[in-house]
Amino acid sequence: MANFNKVLMIGNLTRDPQLSYLPTQTAVVDFGIASNRRWTGKDGSSKESVCFVDCRAFGPQAETINKYLSKGKNIFIEGRLDFDQWTAQDGTKRSKHRITVENFQFLGGPGPAKNQAERGGESGEQELPPAGADDDIPF
């Protein structure tokens, strides 16, 4: 039997990305997204639900997401659904699904970088790549 594990999702970040590094010095970023669903119920009333999903990206993608995204920013992600299991400190078994990002695209207009101190700037201006540096733009 064939298998297929692919997730496509658009949502807004629910928190700032959290960058860390594996012992191999591979970058890892964890973030959450929320995707809204709106519909009209049978009674004609407007309904809405929100799906919250944890996501993880690795390598250069992790560093790019950490550098350019912050809470509230919109992103399109493509990846696979993974199931994580662990034992908590109190001995209980825990689990959750998470999307491992394989590809992504920033959505919406450009905004200021998330943290002036991280990029070394002191003004509120957005850091832009030099003209003609299209190969360096991550989106």
Domains and CATH numbers, the chain: 7-38+46-109 (2.40.50.140)
pTM of the model: 0.73
Which pLDDT does position 108 carry in this prediction? 77
Buried b (16+ CB within 10 A) or exposed e, 73-107: bebebebeeeeeeeeeeeeeeeeeebbebeebebe
List the one residue out of 43, 27, 107, 37 whose CA is nearest residue 72: 107
pLDDT of residue 110: 58
Counting Cβ atoms within 10 Å, is residue 31 exposed (0-12), middle (13-18) or buried (19+)?
buried
Q: Average pLDDT of each block of 10 consecutive residues along the chain (139 residues)?
A: 95 96 96 94 92 96 96 96 93 95 86 48 39 47
91 vs 84, 96, 117, CA distance in Å? 16, 16, 40
Residue 97's pLDDT is what? 95
Q: How does DSSP classify residue 41?
A: -
> Locate tokens 């003209």: which residue?
131
How much is the pLDDT for 111?
A: 56
Q: How many residues in the chain?
A: 139
